[in-house]
Structure 1
Amino acid sequence: MIYLDYAATTPMLEESLDTYVQAARTYYGNEQSLHDTGSDAAALLKLCRSTLAKLIGGEARGIYFTSGGSESNYLALHSLLTAHEAKGRHIVTTPLEHASIRNYFQELAKTGYDITYLPVDAAGCVDLSQLEQSLREDTVLVSIQHANSEIGTIQPIARIGKLLKEYGILFHTDCVQTFGKLPIQAEEMGIDSLSISAHKLYGPKGVGACYISPRVCWKPLFDGTSHENGFRPGTVNVPGIAAFLTAAQYSCQGMTQEAVRMQHLRKLLLAELAEVPSVSVLGHPEQVLPHIAGLLIHGMEGQYTMLECNRRGIAISVGSACQIGKQEPSRAILALGRTAAEAKQYVRLSFGRHTTEQHIREVAASLQAIIHNFFGGAV
């Protein structure tokens, strides 16, 4: 199988697996326990916290480990909004956000919050002047993802953070797709909170982290929670977190070289498909994650393309894994101004550590054959 669905999840790095096994054998104590076994686990957790803080340009006391990106998004937003409820109940976001954020905001709207969905252009970019115009006296928080998982468009997070600091408005950003792929300096970029997930960068599933700047107030979901400084209940997964940090360090250390390689693979794929008129590329032409290629194959549904690729031993996607089961057109593609029919023609190819030039050439040839067969030669 040629696996081109790395944006959905990644295979675990061997070094990360080794770390998990070693940590599970040696640091199996509950980090809250007062005996030496618990203290050893606590010491490892402290090291992981400080290491991750350095990787994201934050402070160790602002790191809270979670079960993944979705929980990080929910807990960050809930904790911040609850603590600053007196300021207002207006939130600004985009229609491109992950389902965990979108669904939470939909629930908040039922309780009296006013949610403004900032439009994006045909490439999926936010306009800063429109963002500024949308801000109000009662705007308490803005949530804009660092980059979209379906089309790869990267938002100007540092500029957004600077703007919101001028207005004293909280800024949350979902960095699940960008951590380990793009440089992140949370404090310098004016980010008040961010979310990341281990399984997007060759770490274990069920592990992630949230960063909330120590300069920002937050209120816990449940009073009396003892773990993660009151941020999250439940025994901390120390071996999983250690494995997460191993994978994160590998990804961040090789980030520049891997980005160059991904850019080459993406350009190769698009060059191979350039002569197929029924294929168009989504996302920004320059400000785009190099490992994601969002495509529209006009006249052919993405589900058909995905199944035909699977039959040929190629794994691709028709969008965010969190939304595929609903059989609805991608909200992200609709937000670009595309029709529902076009949104259903979308497929995503995402590359990773094990993707080679040969894989790309084989996949491009298979796509050409699938399209040729479907249209009977008229593509």
Structure 2
Amino acid sequence: MVYLDYAASTPVSSEALHVFEQLCNDCYGNANSLHDAGGRANEVLTYCRQSLATLLDGEPDGIYFTSGGTESNILAIQSIMNGLPAHKRHVITTKMEHPSVHYAFHSLAHHGVKITIIEPNQAGIITPDILEKALLPETGLVSIQHANSETGIIQPLATLAPLLKKRQILFHTDAVQTFGKIHVSIKDLGVDALSISSHKVYAPKGAGAVYMGRSVPWKPVYTGAVQESGFRPGTVNVPCIGAFIAASEQAISQVDMQHQQDGDLRRYFLQQIKERQLSIRTLDDDAVRQILPHIIGCFFEGFEGQYVMLACNRQGIYLSTGSACASGYHHPSPAVKALHLSDRDALQFIRISFGRMTSKEDIDQLLHTFVDLQKEKKGED
């Protein structure tokens, strides 16, 4: 098996699995219980909160654990809007966001909140000028992803934040794809709230977190909830959270090394597609934009992305496509279309994403399959 879909989900590391098993066996009390077993679970949570706050360059009382990235985005956005005054009923997001962000905003629209969805420039970047044109006196919240999971394009949040601070507009970011891959600091980014997820950093699925700055006047989505200071209801999943933090600590400690490994693989792939004369165009870093090193967005001329994905799947190679299927209708991804591409070009998009176990041999197997596909297209033996 050649797994090249780490941006979608990662395997669980041995360290995270060990912590998960240990907590399942030794720390199964409810963290809200008043007896000693509950106290031990609460001690683990307290450590996890402190550790994650340190990793994010924030404060422990700003950490709220969730079930994953989707819930983190939805609860963060809706909780913030619940706490804003009545005259702040306008929100802004982008065309490239994760579906969970669009779901949260769609839900707000049903409650009379005005929604503005902005598009990036030709390079896929939201610039201060683009954002400023969308701001209104009643704007209360802006949500812009840190980096896109399909294209890997990183948004310059630190250059956008001062524009919002000046107008006392709250700033949320979906950092699910960047946490553990590059440096993510609440202070450096200038955001008020941030969402992350466990299964992108080699931890089990089922955990995530929201960071809320102390100045954010959020109010619960679920009234009466007591877990996580009222942020969400439900028994706190201590074993999964413990594994999440163990994996996060490991990912952050290795981030520079992994960044170098991903960069080497990226350069090798780009070099090889030229040497093998493959009809593949890639999104890449330039003076205008930066892209996460572990994600390569490609356009394979003459092939739809889903055809390439399925052809690779038959060879035991797993990657993904930026397109989506709904009710039998095949259509290009909004994130890819936001790059101002035609439907034809957008449907050719595929995503390759690296991880810890990715090797040059994996890349060679992928390239060999690409070569065979191109020969097949040209009618060669």
- TM-score bucket of the superposed structures, by smaller chain: over 0.9
Partner of 1:77: 77
1:273-315 residue CA offsets vs partner (Å, 9 max, x unmatched): 1254631112543500000001111221111101111111100
Task: Establish whether residue 140 from structure 1 lines up as the match of residue 143 from structure 2.
Answer: no
Partner of 1:198: 198
Structure-2 separation of matches of 1:36 and 1:194: 33
Structure-2 separation of matches of 1:277 and 1:230: 54
Partner of 1:256: 256
1:10-21 map, 5 Å: 10-21=10-21
1:73-222 map, 5 Å: 73-222=73-222
Structure-2 separation of matches of 1:205 and 1:40: 23
Contact kept in structure 2, 1:187 and 1:213, CA below 8 Å: no
Task: Establish whether residue 353 from structure 1 lines up as the match of residue 356 from structure 2.
Answer: yes
1:325 shift after superposition: 5.7
1:91-138 residue CA offsets vs partner (Å, 9 max, x unmatched): 111100000001222232333222222221232111111212221101
Partner of 1:281: 282
Q: Secondary structure at the match of 1:142?
A: strand
Task: Establish whether residue 338 from structure 1 lines up as the match of residue 305 from structure 2.
Answer: no
Task: Establish whether residue 307 from structure 1 lines up as the match of residue 298 from structure 2.
Answer: no
Q: Supply the AA of the counterpart residue of 2:104.
A: Y
Q: Supply the AA of the counterpart residue of 2:150.
A: E
Contact kept in structure 2, 1:296 and 1:347, CA below 8 Å: yes
Runs of 4+ in 1 over 6 A off after TM superposition: none
Q: 1:332 to 1:377 in 2, by over 3 A?
A: farther
Partner of 2:45: 45
Contact kept in structure 2, 1:186 and 1:192, CA below 8 Å: yes
Contact kept in structure 2, 1:125 and 1:284, CA below 8 Å: no
Q: Supply the AA of the counterpart residue of 1:207.
A: A
1:216-237 residue CA offsets vs partner (Å, 9 max, x unmatched): 1100011211100000000000
Q: Supply the AA of the counterpart residue of 2:279.
A: S
For structure 2, the 5+ residue unaligned runs are none
* TM-score under structure 1 length normalisation: 0.96
Partner of 1:318: 321
For structure 1, the 5+ residue unaligned runs are none
Corresponding residue to 2:332 among 329, 332, 342 = 329
Structure-2 separation of matches of 1:97 and 1:137: 24
Q: Secondary structure at the match of 1:124?
A: coil
Contact kept in structure 1, 2:278 and 2:374, CA below 8 Å: no
Q: 1:125 to 1:366 in 2, by over 3 A?
A: same
Structure-2 separation of matches of 1:32 and 1:52: 20
Structure-1 separation of matches of 2:297 and 2:374: 16
Q: Secondary structure at the match of 1:205?
A: coil
Aligned-residue identity in percent: 45
Structure-2 separation of matches of 1:294 and 1:338: 13
Paired positions, count: 376
Structure-2 separation of matches of 1:92 and 1:173: 12
Contact kept in structure 2, 1:91 and 1:115, CA below 8 Å: yes
Partner of 2:369: 366
Contact kept in structure 2, 1:273 and 1:368, CA below 8 Å: no
Q: 1:377 to 1:167 in 2, by over 3 A?
A: farther
